[in-house]
A and B are shown apart, each in its own frame.
Chain A
Amino acid sequence: MNTESMTEIWVYLSAQPLLWLTLTLAVYMLAILLHRKAGGHPAVNPVLISVAVLVSLLLATGTPYQRYFDGAQFVHFLLGPTTVALAVPLHGQLKRLMEMSGPLLIALVVGSLVAGLSAYGIGALLGASTPTMVSLAPKSVTTPIAMGVAERLGGLASLTAVFVILTGIFGAIFADGILRRMGVKDDPSIGFALGLACHGIGTARAFQISEQTGAFAALAMGLNGLFTALTLPWLLPMVAGLFKP
């Protein structure tokens, strides 16, 4: 096969959703294989590896993100029904969750305020621009809520989505190590912290630890999404006043 017909085939395929959908799955399977080979070590994070490989492929081939997403959207769509499906493991832990409802609610309020306001405050102290600071504040909650909250406060929705993903990847890699070093070693506490601070990607990591860890993470993700959506839009302007001269 000569280069000319190779180019023709590439031009045709790269414009089809099929190519990037297939590559998304293939790259992810490779990342999962690496993750298993590494004995499930959290540093070999499947999301991080997949994103790094796909971004490299897109840049190397000069493919715009929008064309990539035309194919990858079929995978992206499954986030909706899968979020709904989190009710199944939650239901499995229902008894435990009810017994712990008081401590869970206190941990929710404390954790949510610390995660959101510290992101804004540290950004402000380090001289980040206002859109960046506002986009950082909701970084711990699930993408659609984070984007909505950032937009209402004058941040950039798509930048927030990036911060959400980066937060999730950081947490998936380091969270259980950090928590264990602090003496937090029980599954419910690790799970709840992962879901609260690192939303869905943290929840995915929590399910790798155990079903119980995953269920607590799913609950924390849902609760923190709700709590942040209700409180951050009026709390953040109050905090912003503290950082103005």
Chain B
Amino acid sequence: MIAAFALLLAFQLAGETLRVALHLPVPGPVLGMALLMVYLIARRGPDEHLRTTAGGLLQNLSLLFVPAGTGVMLHASRLADEAWPIAIALVASTILGLAATGLTLHYLTRKRANGGTR
């Protein structure tokens, strides 16, 4: 478990290093994810320890957003002042984003699954 966790941290560190060295606009952990992906392709998949550790962390992914989410309290006054424009813009654009993505992918892949009806 320690070895697998160290591996994850090492890839995060590599991602962070890459970001700073090349002035990339993407966060270190996202680059680390891409690097680990390359490693897994080269190794033909994760070993049992990495699979277990990654599974354990991902099972509790929701927990990791709680500390940042609690920061909502810092912006109570702006949220109250502009409550309606913020709520409507946030909800409507999220629904539009979900619909645009989901319908596009669903439509494109369904057509293919049916053998390309054109």
Interface residues of A in 200-230 (CB under 8 A from B): 200-201, 203-204, 207, 214, 218, 220, 222, 225-226, 229-230
Are A65 and B66 in contact (CB-based, < 8 A)? no
Q: Is the CB of A55 within 8 A of B70?
A: yes
Query: Restricting to B70-84, which residues have a CB under 8 Å from any CB of A?
Result: 70-75, 78-79, 82, 84
Name which residue of chain B comes closest to A166, CB basis: B90
CA distance A171 to B90 in the complex (A): 10
State the B residues within 8 Å of A (CB): 5, 8-9, 11-12, 15, 25-30, 32-34, 36-37, 39-41, 45-46, 50-51, 53-55, 57-59, 61-75, 78-79, 82, 84-86, 88-106, 108-109, 112
A residues in contact with B37, CB < 8 Å: 87, 90-91
What residues on A are CB-neighbors of B55 within 8 Å?
88
Pair count A-B, CB < 8 A: 315
Are B68 and A161 in contact, CB atoms less than 8 angstroms apart? Answer: yes
Instruction: Flag if A85 contacts B57 (CB, 8 Å).
Output: yes
Residue in chain B with minimal CB distance to A27: B66
Q: Known pairs A69-B71, A80-B29, A88-B55; list 11 more (Cβ under 8 Å).
A: A54-B70, A83-B12, A100-B109, A107-B108, A118-B96, A122-B92, A123-B86, A144-B27, A149-B25, A193-B98, A201-B65
Sample 15 A-B pairs with CB under 8 A, ordered by A number: A24-B67, A65-B73, A80-B12, A84-B15, A87-B36, A110-B100, A118-B96, A123-B86, A126-B88, A140-B93, A178-B98, A186-B109, A189-B106, A207-B58, A230-B25
Asked if residues A75 and B73 are in contact (CB atoms below 8 Å), the reply is no
CB–CB B65/A132 < 8 A: no
Q: How far is the CA of A59 from the CA of B92 in the complex (A)?
A: 30
- A158-B75, A159-B78 given; A175·B64 CB < 8 A: no
Given contacts A55-B72, A84-B15, A86-B58, contact A179 B108 (CB under 8 A): no
Q: For B5, what are the chain A residues with a Cβ–Cβ distance below 8 Å?
A: 81
User: Nearest chain A CB to B63's CB is how many angstroms away?
Assistant: 5
A184 and B103 within 8 A (CB) = yes
- The residue in A80, A126, A167 that gathers the most chain B C-beta atoms within 10 A of its C-beta is A80
Spot the interface stretch: A3-11, A44-52, A235-243: A44-52
B residues less than 8 Å from A91 (CB atoms): 37, 40-41, 45-46
- Whether A132 contacts B93 by the Cβ 8 Å rule is no
- Residue from the set A87, A162, A193 with the largest chain B CB neighbour count within 10 Å: A87
Could you mark each residue 85-108 of chain A with 1 if its beta carbon is under 8 Å from any beta carbon of chain B, else 0? Answer: 111111100100000101110111
Once A81-B12, A83-B30 are accepted as A-B contacts, the answer to whether A171 and B98 lie under 8 Å apart by CB is yes
